[in-house]
Amino acid sequence: MSAALKSSALQASAQAFLQRFEGLRARLPGDVATRDAAASILRASGFPSARTEAWRYTSLRPLAEVEFNEPLTPIADCAELLARVPNLGAPKLVFVDGRFRDDLSDYPALAGVRVGGPSFGLQAKPERDALVALNTMLSEDGAEINVAKGVDAGTIVLISLGTAPQGRAVAFHPRHSVSLAKNAKLTLVEIAVGEGAYLHNPVMSVQVAAGAAITHLRIQNESSSAFVLSTLYADIAERGTYDSFTLALGGRLSRAEIHARLAGPDAIAHLNAAQLLGGSQHADFTTIVSHDAPNCASRQTVKTVLSGHSRGVFQGKIEVARAAQKTDGYQMNQALLLSPDAEMDSKPQLEIYADDVKCSHGATVGELDAEQLFYLRSRGVPVEQARMMLVRAFLNEALDPITHEAAREAMEAAIDLWWERQAA
């Protein structure tokens, strides 16, 4: 098949979603004008192809291989999938195939939490992004979390289960909104697991008011046949903190895209991530950090471990506006290749318009160190365990800033399971 034909297959996939929208349009909740606007954007642009610079390393063509259907409701039994989700002992909101499931959730008297109906929240610039437009067009449900001024809301867990009911591939597009008022605090842990083929296309907007702080920890452990394309917009006001860590282990094709805007002075954004890939998985971590105010700091430590034929992508853009003097930007991207057939693509980009800034970035790609491996084995550590220790050591720099113990443990357990899968 020629590239043009493959590309038109991808556009046919976009057309199929547009047709579905026409059928559902009257039944979807909320403001239909917003959805119509999104539909016309998607109609005009189609899905991004490799010719789109932001999608140079991640091709959406495999989407065209799958025919996606509407989720079925209700899904009778999610016990098996739910059992895979670690219990963090915190209030939890459970979504199955993008639809909120009150019966599976547990959030006693959580002030400020509203669930149900998409929460478009911050307008997420759908004009620039076809996948956000797709989400806006078809989104049915989502969580809205508002933490009031000065309140520490503790930990809330947002769980997504993806299913392929009766072997049909489904597509779902939850739309979440999180908002912290002045000096509020929240730890939001997202855990996503699933089984079978589906498309999970969530969009989340996070608004952090002055002096507020959110820790956002994500464990993406979705089905190995799933497409997971997430977009997140974080807007951080003065002295606010958006501190995030994304662990990506699942999915056939996944992309986690974060747009973080440091909108007020002394704001902080941490966009750390670890990607652990095997088989023929493809995972992409793309960040766009906009320093729009002075004295802000952004930190990104992104580690990728690749085995099999997997392919990893990191794209990190730091934009420093003219007003953003005394910006402190740091970006480190490191990949560890466990197989000669794995591949990593890394694209750091700095766009600096201020003249008094400190921005650094670095990227390395390497293999396990033979000397270190021999050192461990010479002390009696069996070779597979020694390899695991070195992989864990490689990841630790990215994991160490995570102070939420239960979430950290859940991540460590997921990493252990990943390793067992690779060794098997």
Contact residues: other proteins, CB under 8 A: 370-372, 374-383, 385-386, 389-390, 392-397
The smaller minimum CB distance to other proteins, of residues 188 and 276, is found at 276
Nearer residue to other proteins within complex by CB, 323 or 393:
393
What's the CA gap between 188 and 191, in Å, rounded? 10
| In the complex, minimum distance from the CB of residue 365 to other proteins, in angstroms, rounded to a whole number | 17
CA angle at 411 for the pair 405 and 414, rounded to the nearest 5°: 145
Q: How far is the CB of 21 from other proteins (least distance, A)?
A: 48
Q: How far is the CB of 304 from other proteins (least distance, A)?
A: 15
Residue type, 355: D
- Helix pair angle (32-45, 130-138), 10° resolution: 140
Q: Name the residue nearer to other proteins (CB basis): 53 or 369.
A: 369
For 350-385, letters b (16+ CB in 10 Å) and e give eebebeebebebebebeebeeeebeebeeeeeeeee
Residue 202 per-residue DSSP state: -
Could you tell me the smallest distance in angstroms from the CB atom of residue 278 to other proteins? 21
Cis amide leading into 401 (omega within 30): no
Name the residue nearer to other proteins (CB basis): 241 or 333: 333
DSSP annotation string for 338-355: SSTT-EEEEEEEEEE--S
CB of 375 to other proteins, least distance (A): 4
Torsion of CA 121, 125, 126, 130, to 10 degrees: -130
> What stretches of 97-223 adopt beta strand conformation (E)?
99-100, 113-115, 143-147, 152-162, 170-172, 175-180, 185-194, 198-200, 203-208, 213-221
Helix-, strand-, coil-residue percentages of the chain, each rounded to 5: 25, 40, 35
User: Nearest approach, Cβ of 408 to other proteins (angstroms)?
Assistant: 15
Nearer to other proteins, 56 or 408 (CB): 408
**Minimum CB distance to other proteins smaller for 320 or for 415:** 415
Nearer to other proteins, 384 or 420 (CB): 384
**Closer by beta carbon to other proteins, 392 or else 421:** 392
CA dist., res. 162 & res. 153, Å (int):
27
Whole-angstrom Cα distance, residue 227 to residue 173?
12
Measured in whole angstroms, the distance separating CA 108 from the mean position of its chain's CA atoms is 27
Least separation in angstroms between residue 216's CB and other proteins is 24
* CB 368, min distance to other proteins, A: 12
